[in-house]
């Protein structure tokens, strides 16, 4: 994926070096962007019309894939995750009912609007400033179709910034965020990249998109991570004290006085015994049931979510982590839809 992205960038550099008029390149890029947004818009419109016609849904989950991996500081494999998660969800090894009894084959519970074509956009020379705006616009197109709410399949964790920005702007105010992760992802600009997957929550907090940010599962944090947490008033719950914090974290009530709650789940929040297919393996994490207890017992109006950092290139042969990511998506769907 990384080499493919570089090929696209190098292609655009060659065009510019060949004195191809800048206006010609920009017009081509704009056509690609409009085509990308049109596909998401029309698919969201179709799914929204279907859900409204069936009736009875106050909130309905709609999947949106963002196969982006180039902002990862280590491996780019998360770009390949969205189709693997979908494949695991519908592979037939289990039924379509969530643990809380929601039926995923009911379109009022779950629909899918496809993927933002990240690689095609980058191949056209679209830079990250514009790409982040396209991701935000795509999320808003889903939310335009009431009662659809976005559940985004990453991708590396850099995608959370444009998604949260879109949700907050669309709802007209800040939200509360529950962030499950081994890392706080709050560097100012990791390795000089303001859009690094390790900096997404710094951008979110700087933008005022979150009133309250709870980070759970943290076990790889340095001085900057703690200082940034204090700067932004982040509630950081580290694994070394999880036994003391468990009762509180498994009975959270969030979102009062704001526009709703967003959940961001980095698959590496779990111990690698449960989810080995991640780029950054950090022993000593949450169990899968710990994560489900936190999600199931959460009292909140969940207005959006993402599942990120699953790396199929590091998964087991039988796709164990894909199934873990898929079940996270299933249970988040149950939490959102009502």
Find the angle CA(275)-CA(235)-CA(216) to the nearest 5 degrees. Answer: 10
268 is in an annotated binding site: yes
- Between CA 131 and CA 17 the distance in angstroms is 23
Strands 60-66 and 110-115: parallel
183 is in an annotated binding site: yes
> Residue 254: left if φ>0, alpha if ψ -120 to 50, beta else—which one?
beta
- Between CA 269 and CA 287 the distance in angstroms is 9
Spatial contact of 287 and 272, defined as CB atoms under 8 Å apart: no
157 is in an annotated binding site: yes
Give 3-state DSSP helix, strand, coil % of the chain, rounded to 5.
Answer: 50, 20, 35
- Between CA 216 and CA 236 the distance in angstroms is 6
Cross-strand partners of 218? 238
Spatial contact of 192 and 214, defined as CB atoms under 8 Å apart: no
> Residue 13: left if φ>0, alpha if ψ -120 to 50, beta else—which one?
alpha
128 is in an annotated binding site: no
Spatial contact of 44 and 324, defined as CB atoms under 8 Å apart: no
> Residue 319: left if φ>0, alpha if ψ -120 to 50, beta else—which one?
left
Q: Name the binding residues.
A: 157, 181, 183, 185, 266, 268
Q: Which residues belong to the annotated binding site for Mn(2+)?
A: 157, 181, 183, 185, 266, 268
């Amino acid at each position: 994926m990384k080499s493919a992205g570089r090929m696209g960038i190098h292609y655009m550099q060659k065009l510019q070096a060949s004195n191809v008029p800048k206006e010609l390149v920009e017009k081509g890029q704009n056509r690609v962007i409009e085509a990308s947004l049109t596909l998401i818009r029309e698919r969201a419109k179709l799914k929204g019309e279907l859900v409204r016609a069936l009736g009875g849904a106050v909130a309905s989950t709609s999947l949106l894939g963002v196969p982006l991996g180039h902002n990862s500081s280590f491996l780019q494999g998360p770009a390949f995750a969205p189709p693997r998660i979908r494949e695991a969800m519908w592979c037939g090894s289990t039924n379509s009912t969530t643990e809380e009894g929601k039926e995923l084959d009911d379109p009022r519970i779950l629909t899918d609007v496809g993927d933002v074509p990240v690689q095609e956009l980058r191949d056209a020379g679209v830079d990250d400033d514009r790409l982040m705006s396209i991701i935000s616009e795509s999320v808003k197109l889903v939310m335009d179709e009431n009662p659809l709410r976005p559940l985004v399949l990453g991708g590396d964790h850099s995608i959370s910034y444009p998604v949260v920005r879109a949700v907050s702007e669309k709802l007209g105010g800040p939200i509360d965020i529950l962030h499950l992760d081994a890392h706080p992802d709050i560097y100012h600009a990791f390795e000089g990249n303001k859009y690094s997957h390790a900096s997404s929550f710094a951008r979110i907090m700087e933008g005022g998109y979150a009133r309250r940010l709870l980070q759970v599962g943290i076990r790889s944090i340095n001085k900057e991570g703690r200082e940034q947490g204090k700067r932004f008033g982040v509630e950081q719950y580290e694994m070394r004290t999880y036994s003391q914090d468990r009762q509180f974290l498994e009975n959270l009530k969030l979102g009062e006085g704001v526009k709703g709650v967003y959940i961001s789940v980095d698959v590496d929040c779990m111990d690698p015994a449960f989810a080995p297919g991640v780029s950054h393996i950090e022993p000593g994490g949450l169990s899968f049931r710990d994560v489900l207890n936190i999600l199931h017992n959460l009292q909140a109006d969940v207005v959006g979510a993402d599942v990120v950092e699953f790396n199929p290139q590091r998964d087991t042969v039988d796709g164990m982590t894909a199934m873990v990511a898929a079940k996270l998506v299933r249970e988040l769907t149950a939490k959102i839809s009502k």
